[in-house]
Amino acid sequence: MGSLGHYARIWLTSARYSIVRTLMFRGDFFVWTLVELFWMTVNLLMISVIYRHTDTVAGWSKYEMMLLVGTSLLIQRFLMGFFWSSIFEMGRNIRSGNFDFFLAQPGNVMFMATTRKLDPDGLINSFVAMGVVAYSARQLGLHPGAADLALYALLVACGVIIHYSMLVLCIAPAFWITSAQGIEGSYFTFSEFSRLPRQAFKGLANVAFVWILPVVLVSNAPASTLLHGFDVRLIGWLLAVTAFWFTLAIVVFHRGLRRYTSASS
């Protein structure tokens, strides 16, 4: 418990620093908030355009699709708000030798390196994503209870952990190779699939992007839980996949850490 409190204090200190720094550059904060809001709006407008020409896509109605996309955006906003800046800078710090700073910190290196910065603009827009989910649920006549909402929150958290793990795995090759930029870019390619219904994937695509690389499952599982209720098989699989990917990220990161050559070497 003391260890948990120690890391909570470290994170709160880092969060306070990030917020103070953001307030020093308010213009950047408002610009990036608007840019992210515009990107989210484009995704939602695309749904409206598509459903002017069809009633369903892979069996999903307009507001079911909006709930799915809202869930995907919510997971991504949490990822961007809590982890993106820190993980993105990690590769550059490894190459420059500035990663030494994290080795001297009073805590687990992976935790320190991936949680140091908070992006309030991403977190602000998470409320917009929540609003999209709530609006879609209301249009569908859904009335989830406290247990349903708690399960939805748990599955969203699993989605954030899986995305976090995949992003760490995309950056970790920087410990072995000069530049991992091409690998880093692959994360964004795969993350685009998270806004699509899993019923749209057939054959090898279903195996690859639903079960092996669970980029589709992370958003579909919480959305389907709100729409159709508790599915033991689906939720059990997502929890198992979350544990697997997080464990894999930890193992690969710490193996890479042994390969790291500090700036003083």
Q: What is the pLDDT of residues 10-42, one digit of tens each?
A: 888 888 888 888 777 777 778 878 888 888 888
| pLDDT average, residue stretch 238-258 | 93
Instruction: Quote the pLDDT of residue 130.
Output: 94
Rounded CA gap, 14 and 10, in Å?
A: 6
Strands (E), 167-230: none
In which band, very low, low, confident or very high, does the pLDDT at 180 lie, cut at 50, 70 and 90?
Answer: low
Instruction: Quote the pLDDT of residue 221.
Output: 92
Average pLDDT, the chain: 85
In which band, very low, low, confident or very high, does the pLDDT at 1 lie, cut at 50, 70 and 90?
Answer: very low
| pLDDT average, residue stretch 161-180 | 85
Instruction: Quote the pLDDT of residue 185.
Output: 63
Q: What is the pLDDT of residues 57-112, one digit of tens each?
A: 888 999 999 999 999 999 999 998 999 888 888 888 887 778 888 888 778 899 98
In which band, very low, low, confident or very high, does the pLDDT at 264 lie, cut at 50, 70 and 90?
Answer: low
| pLDDT average, residue stretch 229-252 | 91
H helix or E strand, kind and range, residue 68: helix 62-79
In which band, very low, low, confident or very high, does the pLDDT at 186 lie, cut at 50, 70 and 90?
Answer: low
Report yes or no: 160 and 123 within 8 Å, Cβ to Cβ: no
Report yes or no: 79 and 87 within 8 Å, Cβ to Cβ: no
In which band, very low, low, confident or very high, does the pLDDT at 184 lie, cut at 50, 70 and 90?
Answer: low
Please enumerate, as own/partner, the contacts of 154-159 that have beta carbons within 8 Å and a separation of 24 or more: 155/221, 155/222, 155/225, 155/235, 155/238, 156/71, 156/74, 156/75, 156/78, 156/222, 158/218, 158/221, 158/238, 158/239, 158/242, 159/71, 159/75, 159/218, 159/219, 159/221, 159/222
Percent of the chain whose pLDDT exceeds 70: 94
Instruction: Quote the pLDDT of residue 200.
Output: 83
Residue 2 in this model has a pLDDT that exceeds 70: no
Residue 53 in this model has a pLDDT that exceeds 70: yes
Q: Which of 81-90, 194-203, 233-242 has the lowest mean pLDDT?
A: 194-203
Rounded CA gap, 231 and 239, in Å?
A: 12
Q: What is the pLDDT of residues 208-229, one digit of tens each?
A: 877 788 888 899 999 999 998 8
Instruction: Quote the pLDDT of residue 89.
Output: 85
| pLDDT average, residue stretch 163-190 | 77
